[in-house]
Structure 1
């Protein structure tokens, strides 16, 4: 069912939420655009301006590592200045009410944690851009430390082991995080309502989780500005502004 009006969308979503015992939200870039963080694929999105740097390119070239960090620091004002939006706050409300055990996200912006969801209950399929890791030993580095060294010459390597330091995100060609993928699968199989919010549902294998939940008997609601290939399978499709749709649930 495709909701034809905003009030209808909110009412139908409320029915699904009220009738569910376990809700798993799956979020993509669309939930964060109202927070000032641009998405990747839309016109004017990040990837229309710069092709993404693959993991192999990052590993192979100091020049590419420098470019990756240059781009990250160019975005610092947008990421550091962003605050959780209405969608984030609504999901936190459902989480605190005991309806949502965890949020599965493709986002790297840390906004679910900033909205009040415990870090261990934010399943980050594509990592997190608010800190960095050594790719060899796993040592964590804060961005301010990386930036100070980058500005004095080049992207630094790990002082402990000499490994390359990268934002804690998953790049093209980099292996998906096994623990997070496994937990997302468990959540998809255990829920009775799966909410796909602000995701184009084209990036696999992550896009398979809504399908997995639906095939296991869960209701599926898709909130996204543009159509997705799973709309025909969904119990409810909402193409209105995500913040407007979810705002009434912030005090649910």
Structure 2
């Protein structure tokens, strides 16, 4: 049964009908040179929640800010206890049809690049290469004192050893890998320091209230300049970190296509918004283009 289109209301009062028709997305990809910009919505089918979609975690959870994290030891203890518990689930997430479709489009030479707002590494796990992680990656940690970087898996082992028996039941998981725990559940969780200098470790991600590194922004701007069109996947474009690239593409006269079930802040700049689940939409696009979602396993990273 054909779904009725939904209406997308933008802050400027424009109305863009949502559609189930993927033909314009398929047409853009068939021309090649498409830059993908993905958000949390592409990972929900892998069990990682969204911030702003229906039932999004922002309705019940305030993400850790950079200011809070650096302000005191108790905030960092609370963050690392929650994040350590969340990592157990987050680290088990696997790519879904949406991630596999993006990787397949890349293998067939249809993409000029992939920029993701996600910190989950699922694009790379699906086989995408040269992914720009706009907000960093939960798979890495960085020392705020000496700048040394390390593996999150190695840190997880150290936290396991320092907090034997720590296994509270979380009320929920958030897109940044932060599990919902009470202060009582956090208790006296032991935070591991940097192994190089003993300084403060932070996940190598951009917290709320923290700026995306300027060099990374410029890399993304250059990718937009080289692209023939911009395909936004699963992002509400509420924050400027992603919206600025949509505006850049639109100002350059490049088509912007969005796949997102809910209205987005970038709808006024878009040629179309496909309002169906991402896995379904991209699998349909791949089928229309005659591209199988599962290719040969990617070479080791």
TM-score scaled by length of structure 1:
0.90
Q: Equivalents in 1 of 2:53, 2:74: separation in Å?
A: 27
1:240 is aligned to 276
1:17 is aligned to 29
1:75-114 CA distance string (max 9 Å, x none): 2233112111111111111111122132011000000110
How far residue 42 of structure 1 moved from its aligned partner, in angstroms, is 3.5
1:36 is aligned to 47
Change (3 A) 1:43 1:155: farther
1:159-189 CA distance string (max 9 Å, x none): 2123211111110222312222111111112
SS in 2 for 1:81: coil
C-alpha contact (below 8 Å) 1:192/1:217 kept by paired residues: no
Q: How many residues align?
A: 246
Unaligned runs of 5+ in 2: 1-15, 163-188, 293-301
How far residue 143 of structure 1 moved from its aligned partner, in angstroms, is 2.6
More helix by share: 1
Q: Equivalents in 2 of 1:69, 1:43: separation in Å?
A: 27
1:135 and 2:147 correspond: no
1:220-250 CA distance string (max 9 Å, x none): 1011111113213211111111111101344
1:97-108 maps to which residues of 2 (within 5 A)?
97-108=108-119
1:177 and 2:213 correspond: yes
Residue 87 of structure 2, aligned match among 53, 76, 91: 76
1:190-228 CA distance string (max 9 Å, x none): 111100110000111321101111211211101111111
Q: Equivalents in 2 of 1:79, 1:45: separation in Å?
A: 17
Q: Equivalents in 2 of 1:147, 1:16: separation in Å?
A: 42
Change (3 A) 1:45 1:69: farther
1:113-156 CA distance string (max 9 Å, x none): 101112xx111111111221212333222234323443525212
Q: Equivalents in 2 of 1:194, 1:181: separation in Å?
A: 16
Residue 122 of structure 1, aligned match among 104, 109, 131: 131
Unaligned runs of 5+ in 1: none
Residue 200 of structure 1, aligned match among 236, 249, 253: 236
1:112 and 2:123 correspond: yes
Report runs of 4+ in structure 1 exceeding 4 Å deviation: none
1:221 and 2:220 correspond: no
* 229-238 or 54-63, larger mean C-alpha shift: 229-238
Q: Equivalents in 2 of 1:159, 1:230: separation in Å?
A: 43
1:63 is aligned to 74
Residue 50 of structure 1, aligned match among 61, 68, 80: 61
1:95 is aligned to 106
1:156 is aligned to 192
C-alpha contact (below 8 Å) 1:146/1:155 kept by paired residues: no
Q: Equivalents in 2 of 1:102, 1:136: separation in Å?
A: 33
Larger Rg computed on CA atoms: 2
Q: Equivalents in 2 of 1:2, 1:42: separation in Å?
A: 18
